[in-house]
């Protein structure tokens, strides 16, 4: 009778395993058959009731049942594990034919490009690049540059003052000239350019911004002429705008230079026919310059009987607008848009 039971269990075990789906069910079956009160364990206990002559045979049958169970169990476990691995592989597989993710690469801002190309040219002409603080003393920004308090030319540079009247946000990069001359104590020739941010209480419009960028230049030596300044400006204009762009000097006034000039470039937008950008004149002023005023030399410790030189100041935004055909200065700041930057080739200046 027990033998029949074993036979029945053998069949039952193989149909049960066939239905198993996962590891949890597999473990339940193990408990159900092989656990302490499992079906196989219980039938095993019946060996003591089997007549002695049949016991051996019974034992063999039970072992067969157990072996069968164990091998089915092993087989099923392997099958489930393989299935799990395959599922995982399918889920994590990489489709190498999919298009890749485009990585955005940084680019130089037009302002930076102009500064760098000016630096490269002027450094090749023996100039050093010098920087000064943006929070500056009135003394350096105005006073020693021959702009004493109450001087009408101060009004043209509507200034952001800090802490009363002593400190300000520099309205020009010219104070770096003063700092440099004071440092050299009137004893050495100087060739410097000073790029940097400047600030004025301007209303922002197409050509004005309350924060903008200038590059100052200063050359102090002996027997320097206005012709040296003109030659230098022409090199700069050619480098930035090519041979076709025309340049001119116009008499002007700056308290720190004597004589003073405006440095003009023919209008890029209308080829000097007259348009809204050049305000109908055909020319755009890109900077001011002149021979360093002897008063400034003296103020900064240089003997005007021995030393002379020239100074110039460029508006970098203006140069960038001319060079890249940008009509509104706000493109650089307020309406800042990556699509503008993306138009510039990374390698080309
Ligand atoms: N600092 C002047 C300005 O902001 C520009 C300038 C003019 C600088 C003449 C100079 C110069 O060095 O000689 O308008």
We report the CATH number of the domain holding residue 154 as: 3.30.930.10
Q: What are residue 289's DSSP bridge partners?
A: 261, 312
Q: What is the pTM of this model?
A: 0.71
Task: Ligand 1, residue 174: give the atom nearest the CA.
Answer: 1
- Choosing from 172, 232, 297 the residue with most ligand 1 atoms within 8 A of its CB, the one to mutate for a pocket test is 172
Pick from 56, 91, 126: which residue ends a domain? Answer: 91
Domain membership flag for residue 302? yes
Phi, psi of 15 (to 5 degrees): -70, -35
Domain membership flag for residue 101? no
**Close Cβ partners of 231 (under 8 Å, ≥ 6 residues apart):** none
Centre a 10 Å sphere on the Cβ of residue 301 and count the other Cβ atoms it contains: 16
Spell 128-152 as b/e; 16+ CB within 10 A means b: eebebeeebbbebbbbbbbbeeeee
Same domain, 80 and 229: no
Same domain, 158 and 286: yes
Residue 254's pLDDT is 95
Same domain, 157 and 257: yes
Domain membership flag for residue 96? no
Same domain, 44 and 145: no
Residue 348's pLDDT is 60
Pick from 91, 125, 156: which residue ends a domain? Answer: 91
- Per-residue DSSP letters for 307-341? -EEEEEEEEHHHHHHHHHT---GGGGTTT--HHHH
Same domain, 236 and 297: yes
Residue 77's pLDDT is 95
Task: Ligand 1, residue 314: give the atom nearest the CA.
Answer: 5
Task: Ligand 1, residue 217: give the atom nearest the CA.
Answer: 12
Same domain, 78 and 185: no
Same domain, 38 and 116: no
Residue 347's pLDDT is 55
SS3 for 14? helix
**How many Å lie between the centroid of ligand 1 and the Cα of residue 46?**
112
Residue matched to tokens 């002023």: 285
Q: Which is it for strands 128-129 and 190-199: parallel, antiparallel or unpaired?
A: parallel
Q: What is the pLDDT along the chain (349 residues), one digit of tens a residue?
A: 567 888 898 899 999 999 999 999 999 999 999 999 999 998 888 888 888 898 899 899 999 999 999 999 999 999 999 999 999 998 888 888 999 888 877 788 899 999 999 999 999 999 999 999 999 999 999 999 999 988 887 877 789 999 788 999 999 999 999 999 999 999 999 999 999 999 999 888 888 899 999 999 999 999 999 999 999 999 998 899 878 778 899 999 999 999 999 999 887 778 889 998 788 998 888 899 999 999 999 999 999 999 999 999 999 998 998 888 888 888 888 666 777 777 876 656 5
Same domain, 32 and 167: no
324-329 long-range CB contacts below 8 Å, 24 or more apart?
A: 324/110, 325/268, 325/269, 326/110, 327/206, 327/269, 327/277, 328/206, 329/204, 329/205, 329/206, 329/207, 329/208, 329/209, 329/212
SS3 for 290? strand
**How many Å lie between the centroid of ligand 1 and the Cα of residue 135?**
18
Instruction: Output the six-digit token pair for 109.
Output: 């801002």
263 vs 288: CA distance, rounded Å: 6
Residue 193's pLDDT is 98
Same domain, 222 and 327: yes
Residue matched to tokens 């049960």: 16
**How many Å lie between the centroid of ligand 1 and the Cα of residue 151?**
16
Q: Which is it for strands 135-137 and 308-315: parallel, antiparallel or unpaired?
A: unpaired
**How many Å lie between the centroid of ligand 1 and the Cα of residue 289?**
6
Residue 1's pLDDT is 56
Same domain, 326 and 185: yes
Domain membership flag for residue 322? yes
Residue 45's pLDDT is 87
Domain membership flag for residue 105? no
Number of domains, the chain: 2
Q: Is residue 77 packed enough to be buried (19+ CB in 10 Å), middle (13-18) or exposed (0-12)?
A: middle
- Contact residues of ligand 1, CB 6 A cut-off: 172, 174, 216, 254, 256-257, 288-290, 311-313
Domain of residue 82, residue span:
2-91
Same domain, 82 and 114: no
Pick from 30, 57, 91: which residue ends a domain? Answer: 91
Instruction: Output the six-digit token pair for 250.
Output: 């116009």
Q: Whose CA is nearest to atom 8 of ligand 1?
A: 313
Same domain, 139 and 24: no
Residue 286's pLDDT is 86
Q: Which of 208, 211, 213 is nearest to 194 (CA)?
A: 213
Alpha helices (H) in the chain, listed in sequence order: 2-19, 23-34, 39-45, 52-92, 110-124, 138-141, 175-184, 226-241, 294-299, 316-324, 338-341
Preceding omega of 78 cis (within 30 degrees of 0): no
């Amino acid at each position: 009778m027990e033998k029949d039971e074993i036979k029945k269990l053998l069949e039952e075990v193989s149909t049960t395993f066939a239905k198993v789906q996962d590891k949890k069910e597999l473990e339940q079956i193990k408990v159900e058959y092989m656990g302490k009160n499992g079906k196989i364990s219980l039938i095993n206990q019946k060996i003591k009731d089997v007549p002695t002559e049949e016991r051996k045979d019974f034992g063999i049958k039970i072992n067969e049942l157990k072996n069968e169970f164990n091998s089915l169990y092993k087989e099923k476990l392997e099958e489930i594990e393989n299935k799990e691995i395959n599922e995982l592989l399918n889920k994590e597989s990489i489709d190498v034919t999919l298009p890749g993710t485009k990585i955005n690469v940084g680019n130089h801002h037009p302002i930076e490009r102009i500064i760098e190309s000016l630096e490269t040219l002027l450094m090749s002409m023996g100039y050093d690049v010098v920087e000064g603080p943006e929070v500056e003393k009135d003394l350096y920004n105005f006073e020693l540059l021959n702009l004493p308090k109450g001087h009408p030319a101060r009004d043209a540079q509507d200034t952001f003052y800090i802490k009363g009247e002593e400190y300000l946000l520099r309205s020009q990069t010219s104070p770096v000239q003063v700092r440099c001359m004071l440092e050299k104590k009137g004893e050495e020739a100087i060739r410097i350019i000073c790029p940097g941010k400047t600030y004025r209480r301007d209303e922002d419009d197409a050509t004005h911004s309350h924060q903008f960028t200038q590059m100052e230049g200063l050359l102090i030596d002996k027997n320097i002429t206005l012709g040296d300044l003109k030659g230098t400006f022409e090199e700069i204009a050619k480098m930035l705008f090519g041979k076709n762009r025309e340049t001119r000097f116009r008499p002007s006034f700056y308290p720190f230079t004597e004589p003073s000039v405006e440095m003009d470039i023919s209008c890029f937008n209308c080829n000097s026919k007259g348009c809204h950008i050049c305000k109908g004149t055909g020319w755009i002023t890109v900077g001011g310059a002149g021979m360093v005023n002897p008063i400034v030399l003296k103020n900064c410790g240089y003997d005007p009987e021995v030393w002379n030189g020239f100074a110039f100041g460029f508006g970098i935004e203006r140069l960038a607008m001319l060079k890249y055909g940008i009509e509104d200065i706000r493109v650089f700041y307020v309406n800042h848009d990556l699509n503008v930057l993306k138009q510039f080739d990374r390698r080309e200046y």
